[in-house]
Chain A
């Protein structure tokens, strides 16, 4: 199993600013995944973060808007840049171990 500590748990931000979300895993993992969950919706994959290489972004998500860092095998950050109210969502990080996904507690972001 894997335990993921994600912070902040929630934040209210002004439009035009940036927020960095952190995830710490209690074991080394090759890939970490970042998801967005818009209000009342399912989880949509933003990007996959590999240690030592550029993150791989899904269609509709770009590095300038969602830069990701992966400095080691237990840590990753996702930044939501130049925020607008449309970015108000829950953001979750996740790892997969032996086919099972484990999730952080989620970050509820509200942009005003």
Chain B
């Protein structure tokens, strides 16, 4: 079974600064997806960024980028130029390849952005 670990229950960052959220995972599969989801107080789960395991290049989406280390099974999220709207719970998630399988989520990191 796959496991996802987020070791930072809470993080804070000053507005306009950069913050990195950590995630490690365990799997015996060679092909899979990794995700970061954001959940603001509205509780809607919003996809932030996605990484396919077969791609060596780290995914980027505007101010969001990942550091994917497949051998180390590490998948950290970097948020640059943090904005007040980035404040939310962030979940790292693992998804198997192939058919429409469910995701395995980490325990989450609550990010506070300080003005």
Where the two chains meet, the residues of A that have a C-beta atom closer than 8 Å to any C-beta of B are 29-31, 33, 37, 41-43, 45, 48, 90, 92, 94-97, 99-101, 103, 105-106, 108
Contact = CB atoms under 8 A, between A and B. Distances in A.
B44 interface: yes
Contact of A42 (B52, B100, B102, B106): B106
Given A43-B91, A99-B97, A101-B93, A94 B47 contact: no
B107 interface: yes
B33 interface: yes
Nearest to A31: B100
Interface of B: 33, 35, 37, 42-45, 47, 50, 52, 91, 93, 95, 97, 99-103, 105-108
B13 to A, nearest CB: 20
A41 B107 contact: yes
A66 to B, nearest CB: 15
Given A100-B33, A101-B93, A101-B95, A106 B103 contact: no
